Amino acid sequence: PSLGWRPGKDHKTEEQLWELIRREASADAAAEPALASFLHTSVLVHPSLAKAMSFMLANKLSSRTLLGTQLMRLISDAYRADPGIMEACVADIQAVFERDPACDRYTQCILYFKGFQAIQCHRIAHWLWTRNRRTLAIALQSRVSEVLHVDIHPAARIGRGVLIDHATGVVIGETAIVGDNVSMLHHVTLGGSGTGKGVRHPHIGDGVLLGAGVCVLGAHYVGAGSKVGAGSVVVTDLPAHCVAVGVPARIIKHGCLEQPSDKMDLVEDFILDYVI
């Protein structure tokens, strides 16, 4: 696990989660014949969450350019080579389930949520990037942007337990860092400033919430446990545990949390709530 990340008290292991996912898929396949074949091939025939995820992501990304079988092998290899990728995936599934009130099934998250799928694709592209397969990493980034409408540079570093809700139009630049337990909505931009090649994108601290359409531009730090209201443009650093809104964003509240270290609860309290 990355520094600072720790599982919540209801956190499930990969095996526990996989068992719950299989039970859901079984029940849904019995209740909805139109989806039975899909649920069998996507979930029920697989021996593990890693295999099911490899199949599902390969299916999403495959094209005349990138063959499904080739992608599935590549993704399986990544999961095997770096167990941290699946640990992060497990944390992300639980983040979606706990924080998105419209999500009442783990299978929904895995099979249908573009933001979740895009983050998992990014974790594979980032693995390729760090192993110096940059051309392939860029090809994956591009394919994710085409298929899931989320554009994350493979060099960007994304923590665990991250939720990108709705996800359409999210852009995360090359030198951006997203901490653990961050939640963001669709149309969020973590953008660069200037044409230099060095660090030029923001660092989002643990447990931060970014509302729909927020732009954070330049190498600024958004402190842990802070919240930025929808449509705001952040062009400065923000301290921890503040609330900022507006174009450009101004801080309207400080020290607004009693237990900043209890990340999951923090995010839950704040999701989508626009204090003003």
Nearer to a second copy, 30 or 80 (CB): 30
Task: Please work out the total of residues on this chain that contact a second copy, with binding judged by CB under 8 A.
Answer: 75
Q: Is 92 in the site for a second copy (CB under 8 A)?
A: no
Q: Is 223 in the site for a second copy (CB under 8 A)?
A: no
Contacting a second copy within 57-86 (CB under 8 A): 59, 64-66, 70, 74
Nearer to a second copy, 217 or 222 (CB): 217
For residues 214 and 246, is the Cβ–Cβ distance under 8 A?
A: no
Nearest-CA neighbor of 89 among 138, 21, 27? 21
Letters for 25-54 (x = contact with a second copy by CB under 8 A, - = none) are: ---x--xx-xx--x---x------------
Which member of 86, 215, 224, 266 binds a second copy (CB under 8 A)? 215
What's the residue count for the chain?
276
Nearer to a second copy, 82 or 174 (CB): 174
Which member of 159, 161, 173, 225 binds a second copy (CB under 8 A)? 173
